[in-house]
Chains A and B, each alone.
Chain A
Amino acid sequence: MEIKVIKNILERNQNAADNIRRLADENKWYIMNVMGSPGAGKTSFIKCMIENLKDIFNIVVIEGDVASTIDAQAIASYGVEVLQINTGGACHLVADSIAEAIDTLKPVPKTVIFVENIGNLICPSSFDLGENLKVVVSSAAEGDDKPYKYPAMFEKADVVVLSKIDVIDAIGFDMQRYKKGLEAIKDKDLKLFEVSFRTKEGVKSLTNYFYTLLDQYFKSRGKCL
């Protein structure tokens, strides 16, 4: 006897993510899922956002790492609340662990929650965390072929931050090829920022974009609860 099932295997994670999205909406939290390879600049991106926006918005950070608290300590030194999740080997964060982290952090209404996902371009793209925005940090140092090799990750991104642009000439990064790959993947408007967190090139327009985005989000949610 054959029993027809047709059931999405990631349903449980999806339910947990939907629940986070509902909670975030009620509490006016804005959740950003920051993904990318190890060393692409995810922590630098979050640090840059904290540095430039922490006086305007309330910010907390959930740090995902396989092991260690290196990034969490670096972020904590910027004076924002940070919670470390060590997955102990798992290659991505799941919605259940984000729900737990949020429950521990108890962010006040109108908080920006940055989630730094585990560094890789495959697994995190399959798991919805209930976020408002997916940011993919992709460094020029990794090469211009990444959109072709990891299409699922780039397709899901709302914003792509191409970091380490100061090494473009040194490594012969082909910007046209990279952009062509992104355009092929993305249906929605492409939001690509070319930055170097080291030389600060492009950081101003990146910051302005996120300032406007968050300001509009919180304004649209009213002045008080």
Chain B
Amino acid sequence: MIKWSRFVLFLLVVAVLASLMVTTTNSTAKNITLGLDLKGGFEILYRVEPLEQGQTVTPELLKATAGMIDKRVNIGGVTEPEIVIEDPDRIRVKIAGVTDQEKMRELIGKPAVLTFRDETGKVVLRGSDLAPDGASVGFDEYTKEPVVILEFAEASKFAEITRQNIGKVLAIYLDEDVLYTPRVNEVIPNGQARISGGYTVEEAQELADILNSGALPANLVEMQATSVGASLGTMALQKTIYAGYVGGALIFLFMLFAYRMPGMIANITLAGFIYFCLVVIDWMNATLTLPGIAGFILAVGMAVDANIITYERIQEEIKSGKTILSAFRAGQRRSFITIIDAHVTTLIACAVLFYFGTSSIQGFAIILTMTIIVSIITNVFGSRFLLWLIIKANMFKKPFWYGVKESEIGEL
């Protein structure tokens, strides 16, 4: 006798899942943060070295340096840089979606020590003598060229320096580069100096910003750098997603062909599995990288394994002459332990990867771990529930629906 209530409940569950997926998949997928290998950008590992020999790198210095890097990245117009301090003396900077990477690297690594030197090369003034936010952009009255205006904290000090150097060149250095070599014509009493070097407005603004953010408290040495062009990242993403579609479609067809009705349910829960994984990735704020996607696609294959183990068991039980319902119960029970044993070993590997891996491998481990947990929920419990509803509905009683031929069933 057909129990319509079970079947309706089954349809209801599938309909709710389907509508959830149709309405939210796109927005969820768009929300996911993509790694720099998928969106372009760069990752640099710096070693922080003290400015003067004999000094040690303290956690405070690291923090101050990281803070300074953050400020400078913001000058370059990037809003969400990832700056991580790695003990004992390293700072990892990840910036995604930057078009001019070289400029950004230069901006970050520049010590930005501003000095004024007299004709003998002696440093007479430093950037630290500037007033807070003392650098700004102005325009030359005559040439209308953009200039950088510097304002010193103590006007008297600057007046004194100019007095001593009248008629001489007072060179302005940024690090070891000469920015400008003005000749001092008169004593400047208002504490204002200007650098006019044929800048565009943007260049002048950038220089002013760097000067305002001050000098880096330490030297940065690039130890490891990875960069991916933005267009290359997008290309990698599209290709890999396409590969995922093809692989997924093959699995869907295979499961339908090999297991019929249960295969259909495996496909429904697999679609649910993929959807919930996306939701969890979004919800965890995890960054999806290329190895992460690969791990994810692989996890789809492994999630199906849970169904295969279970359905193979159920088929065996049907062949041994059991009713569909008791074959289902025995098959579920016997396969469950196997699935858990198999998953725990993969979780152990993930934990080790996470602990020892570098950032992109850690991403891979996190995503694989997450997929295993989601897989147990959807492809073990979810699939079990849906199959139970279908069997209880008494609509698909023939062994054919479970991929078993009548002739294969033995006598009990």
Answer yes or no: do A and B interact.
no
List chain A positions with a Cβ less than 8 A from chain B: none
| Interface residues, chain B, with chain A CB atoms under 8 Å away | none
